[in-house]
Amino acid sequence: MSRRFIEDLRDFLDAERKTFLELAEAGMEMSPSLSVQKQETLRMIVEDGFKETGSAVSLKEAVRDVCADMYGDGSIQANITIKRLNGFIDEHKHLPETVLVEDVESSYIEQEPKVSAVLPASILNAPSFVGEISIWITSTAPSPQPALSLGAAIAAVGVLKGRTRQSDSGFRTNHYVLGIAGSSSGKDWPRKCITKLFKEIGAPVIGKPASDSGLIGSLAEAHGVALGLWDEIGYLIQALTHRNAVTFEKRIRSVMLELFSSADGVFIGKELADRKHKTIEIDQPCLGIFGTTTPHTIYDGLTQNDIADGFLPRCLLFQVEDNDVLPNLFVSPALPPKELAERALKLKQLDIHTTKHGNIPVIDPVIIPFSQESRAMVKEFFQYTYDRKKKTREDGDSYPAIWGRAYEHMVKLALTIEEGSEIGLESVKWAIEVSSFVTRMQCDIVEKVISENDTQKEIKKLLQVIASRPGISRSQLTNFVNNRYLTKKLDEYLDHLGSTNQIITAQKRNGKRGRPGLYYYINNFQAIEENGIIPIANA
């Protein structure tokens, strides 16, 4: 049972009790309060329901029956309580459980944080050379965006270590990193800095591919190790994933997926019909990508297929929340510091270890195993991600592919930042935190943004509009819809959101003498308490 779920539930019921008191004082016909006994009864029902079934549907049925018995079937108080608890259950049904262990030091998780795009300082303050590059990018940026600096540094160091290091399970240091930020928010700077650094040390950078053959050829010319620094990658993803994508665009997508998974094997290009050109083979390719885009562009281009075939789960997403950071007015473009460039060059010049199979030398990167003290934490994280993948598959969600990559991301991140002969405990802790953060964020994106079809996409956009405001009137929503959706579908979409307890409909009085108007709110209990609205029980 999740400790956070229990704590949130108690806070929720306490807020509900206070609200019912206020509504009762306002003259609504209902019980004057929720007694402590009733709060405890509801808490036990919800907790026991999660323990026994884990099913949100079964839990909602139990809540409906109990509320009908406690407050009277069809009463206003019963209807409101059912709506509020159903919304609370929906919000928490995918909440990862807190892992409780006796040895707190060995546990990788203390309490599941709420999903947020804001990277905590413990992640931004990355260790080793990744942290040094990230600090350099941020400190010289006209508009500093530490999250994007970190993403660029991870992709860059991963490529510099390409084909020279591997984990004891065979994972490598190739990363696909997407930096997501608004227009004019500083997302170009990290790419420019890494471009300068790679040019300074003679490391290969490849541009956005126009075809699958172009991508394979560029990587082959770079001897199998290269970094793609791609601006507006969201438009590329849209082109590759669109239902009307032409054959060569689909092939680019297929090659990107295959290259990611071929880092420990041999990538074999397509066989050409004319046989005039030799098929390209790349032994243990290391393609790293750092691409930047805007939220609107990337999310409009992603579909459920991108989850199912593993495109999105292969990526590390770093999103900027503050697109209007205060600029550094007096920074000047500069080459990478000498010490930084020298360290990067040493990584680039690491020997690629080979072994002979007969008379043929085969690339065999140096194995960097997990240290003895870090293995308990590694095993714990693997079990956690395995259980989450299994649970989400049983629930029929889209998340198994995402949780299925979480452990791989963790190992590759730890291998990327580790500078010793073993992957130590501190590297593992940081890598687990990053992987956990990115995984939960991706699940949140799938839940809120990515859709199976155009209708679902429109409904999710409408929900985002309502969620972005502290209540939106019918007329305001109609004006917005006139610009974005077919007006005739508005009522259908609102009915769907209301029947699934994702929004509430309420009468709100504008001023002391104004007539109450119809408003829509996201299904957040604070809407009642903070905005002074009166819920419509049958809405």
Distance in angstroms (rounded) separating the CA atoms of residues 506 and 528: 9
> Is 497 inside any structural domain?
yes
Q: Given this model, what pLDDT does residue 44 score?
A: 58
Tell me the C-alpha to C-alpha distance, in Å, between residue 533 and each of 74, 449, 507: 21, 28, 6
Report the domain count for the chain. Answer: 3
Residue 29 confidence (pLDDT) above 50: no
Query: Please, which pLDDT band fits residue 6 given cuts at 50, 70 and 90?
Result: low
Q: How confident is the model at residue 325 (pLDDT cuts 50, 70, 90)?
A: confident
If phi over 0 gives left and psi between -120 and 50 gives alpha, with beta otherwise, what is residue 275? Answer: left
Cα separation, 227 vs 413, whole angstroms: 16
Q: Average pLDDT for residues 493-498, to the nearest whole number? A: 79
* 11: confidence class by pLDDT, cuts 50, 70, 90: low
| Rounded CA separation 268/281 (Å) | 5
pLDDT confidence of residue 100: 30
| CA gap 153, 489 in Å, rounded | 46
Judge if 128 and 53 occupy the same domain: no
Helices (H), 395-424: 400-417
pLDDT at residue 72, rounded to an integer: 65
Q: Do residues 24 and 133 both lie within one domain?
A: no
**% of the chain at pLDDT higher than 70:** 66
Domain range for 461: 453-539
Token pair, residue 145, equals 């965006």
Give the confidence band of 496 by pLDDT, cuts at 50, 70, 90.
confident
Which CATH number fits the domain that encloses residue 239? 3.40.50.300
Question: Highest mean pLDDT: which of 168-172, 448-452, 497-501, 524-528?
Answer: 168-172
Query: Cα separation of 535 and 77, whole Å?
Result: 10
Same domain, 284 and 356: yes
CA distance 50 to 53: 6
Residues 61 and 118 in one domain: no
The model carries a pTM of 0.68
* % the chain with pLDDT above 90: 39
- For residues 81 and 146, membership in a common domain is answered with no
Residue 328, domain member (yes or no): no
**pLDDT band at 50; cut points 50, 70, 90:** very low
My answer on whether 50 and 176 are in the same domain is no
Helix ranges (DSSP H) in 161-302: 188-201, 212-221, 233-241, 247-261, 295-301
Regarding whether 121 and 61 lie in a shared domain, the answer is no
pLDDT greater than 50 at residue 110 = no
Rounded to the nearest integer, the mean pLDDT of the chain is 77
Decide if 348 contacts 200 (C-beta within 8 A): no
Amino acid identity, position 207: G
- Residues 6 or more apart in contact with residue 33 via CB below 8 angstroms: 17, 20, 21, 24
For residues 91 and 523, give the distance between their C-alpha atoms in angstroms, rounded to a whole number. 9
Instruction: Say yes or no: 85 and 125 in one domain.
Output: no
Give CA angle at 270 (267, 276), nearest 5°.
Answer: 120
Q: Is the pLDDT of residue 430 over 60?
A: yes
Q: How confident is the model at residue 228 (pLDDT cuts 50, 70, 90)?
A: very high
CA angle 300–248–182, rounded 5-degree value: 25
Answer whether residue 419 is part of any domain. no
Same domain for 225 and 279: yes
Q: Is residue 41 domain-shared with residue 163, that is, in the same domain?
A: no
In a domain, 131, yes or no: yes
pLDDT level of residue 351 (50, 70, 90 thresholds): confident
Q: Which of 34, 62, 93 is the last residue of a domain?
A: 93
249 close to 238: Cβ distance less than 8 angstroms: no
Does 19 or 467 have the greater pLDDT score?
Answer: 467
Instruction: Answer yes or no: do 122 and 197 share one domain.
Output: yes
Task: Give yes or no: residues 60 and 129 share one domain.
Answer: no
Q: What is the pLDDT of residue 31?
A: 43
pLDDT band (50, 70, 90) for residue 106: very low
| 113 — pLDDT class (breaks 50, 70, 90) | very low
Pairing type for strands 165-166 and 366-367 reads parallel
